Amino acid sequence: MSFIHLRNFILLLMTAWFTAGCEPRDDTPYPLALPQNFPLPIIPEDNPLTAAKVELGRHLFYDPALSANQTQSCSSCHQQSYAFAEVNTTSIGSTGEKHRRNAPALVNIAYNKTLTWAHPGLTSLEQQILIPMFAEAPIELGITGHEQTVLKRFTNTTYQKLFTAAYGDTEVTFERINFSLASFVRALISLDSPFDRYAYQNDDDAISASAKRGMNLFFSETFECHHCHGGFNFTQSTFHEQQRLDRRPFHNTGLYNVANLGQYPEQDFGVAEFTQQAQDNGRFRAPTLRNIELTAPYMHDGSVATLEEVLNIYAAGGRNIEQGSFSGDGRQHPAKSPFVKGFEMTEQQRNDLIAFLQTLTDEKFIKNPAFANPWKSSRVKISER
């Protein structure tokens, strides 16, 4: 055999050896669970939604190795059984630091125009996810200052396979982690509630007579709930291929009026923190009402315990706090939304409204194994990954 032929033979063997140990990138699109003729969410061109990235993101979402001290994961504050919210009034970070806001539910986030409770400039998941990862005030996952330590935790065999499937090689970067987490969160679609079967599948028996009465109240001009919680996602913060306009989804609902001076508590002024405009004091994003019965406590600071209490506050046109450091009549806040003007509500009407809101609970969503913790059923110990 000549030298040239020997060299070619060796190169062929080396190529076969490397190929045998390396799986190609899997670019199979992720099939979003959308009803027929539903509009598609806007997916960033630089982060196409693939099944492999969603699966990598799912593993990362549930992995406490993503926090600097390995005590928390994204799922610590966003739990599937609560529609990816939590029962705490406000969240607690990986270092034990108490946060000022309630963890919002991660429901149909792919359709959100803005992210977080009160940041009009955060319009993509890739931007938003950097906050829990790297923010220092307050600390959430606490990665800042520990970047290389955290990255090294994802170089094991399990993650090598996941990164290779998602990106074609085993390189671990925070951009890839970010893009994968964003992909998983985009996949959290909830559109299979009893209301959906009633409204979109023509199943008249999917919801009760009480819920139907409550639905009529919800969409009435007397109760006006739909003005802030409208559309198929029951929030104004909606953005998709057929809806690209900004509908200004932030509202002051008269929750506070500290000392009757037209102020919300100092720790959280809402949108006004960014705009420095008085009219934005106390304005927060109206969240989706999908799975709302699972996501108590309510409001940006978790200060309202039940749906009954929420409805009573809106019926009163705001909340009047009679004592304590936050005392004041929120009904008189000068920046309160004109849609929160109060209304008469009987006990039957309140019960009907709650019955309707309960039809927005998607049991398949909170039990979907594709969204569940992949480490629970794994025999691989965290320390051995």
Q: What is the pLDDT of residues 154-212, one digit of tens each?
A: 999 999 999 999 999 999 999 999 999 999 999 999 999 999 999 999 999 999 999 99
Checking 363-366 for CB contacts under 8 A at 24+ apart, the result is 364/192, 365/83, 365/107, 365/188, 365/189, 365/190, 365/192, 365/291, 366/80, 366/81, 366/82, 366/83, 366/291, 366/294
pLDDT along the chain (385 residues), means of 10: 46 40 82 91 96 98 98 98 98 97 97 92 95 97 98 98 98 98 98 96 96 97 93 88 72 97 96 95 96 98 98 98 97 96 97 98 98 78 47
Residues 255 and 313: beta-carbon distance below 8 Å? yes
Whether residues 216 and 340 fall in one domain = yes
3-state secondary structure string across the chain: CCHHHHHHHHHHHHHHHHHHCCCCCCCCECCCCCCCCCCCECCCCCCCCEHHHHHHHHHHHCCHHHCCCCCCCHHHCCEHHHCCECCCCCCECCCCCECCCCCCCCCCHHHCCCCCCCCCCCCCHHHHCHHHHHCECCECCCCCCCHHHHHHCCCCHHHHHHHHHHHCCCCCCHHHHHHHHHHHHHCCCCCCCHHHHHHHCCCCCCCCHHHHHHHHHHCCCCCCHHHCCCCCCCCCCCCECCECCCCCCEECCCCCCHHHCCCCCCCCCECHHHHCCHHHCCEEECCCCCCHHHCCCECCCCCECCHHHHHHHHHHCCCEECCCCCCEEHHHCCCCCCCCCCCCCCHHHHHHHHHHHHCCCCHHHHHCHHHCCCCCCCCCCHHHC
Q: How far is CA 370 from CA 47, 59, 103, 361, in A?
A: 20, 11, 22, 18
Residues 207 and 349 in one domain: yes
pLDDT at 36: 86
Same domain for 369 and 357: no
Whether 118 maps to a domain, the answer reads yes
In this structure, are residues 314 and 331 in contact, taking their beta carbons and an 8 Å threshold?
no
Question: Are 317 and 180 within one domain?
Answer: no
Q: Residues 180, 236: one domain?
A: no
Q: What radius of gyration do the chain's Cα atoms show?
A: 24
Tally the domains of the chain.
2
| Residue for token pair 């809806």 | 243
Give, to the nearest 10 degrees, the angle between helix 174-186 and helix 51-61: 100
**270 occurs within a structural domain:** yes
Structure tokens at 339: 């849609």
Q: Is residue 15 part of a domain?
A: no
The answer as to whether 108 is a domain residue is yes
- For residue 269, give its domain range: 194-361
- Provide the CATH number for the domain around residue 300: 1.10.760.10
What's the half-sphere exposure (Cβ side, CA atoms, 13 Å) at 285?
27
* pLDDT at residue 22, as a whole number: 53
Task: Give yes or no: residues 232 and 246 share one domain.
Answer: yes
Residues 240 and 314 in one domain: yes
225 and 125 together in one domain: no
Say yes or no: 292 and 312 in one domain: yes
Are 229 and 105 within one domain? no
- pLDDT for 10 equals 41
Q: Are residues 104 and 158 in the same domain?
A: yes
Query: Is residue 18 exposed (0-12), middle (13-18) or buried (19+ Cβ within 10 Å)?
Result: exposed
Angle of helix 174-186 relative to helix 157-167, nearest 10 degrees, comes to 70
**What pLDDT does residue 249 have?**
85
Nearest alpha carbon to residue 115 among 105, 188, 267: 105
In-domain check, residue 28: no
Q: Are residues 202 and 330 in the same domain?
A: yes
Per the domain annotation, does 14 fall within a domain? Answer: no
- 24 in a structural domain: no
What is the bridge-based pairing of β-strands 320-321 and 284-285? unpaired
- Taking the model in full, what pTM does it have? 0.91
Strand partners, 298: 304
pLDDT tens per residue across span 209-223: 999 999 999 999 999
31 domain-assigned: no
Give residue 118's pLDDT: 95
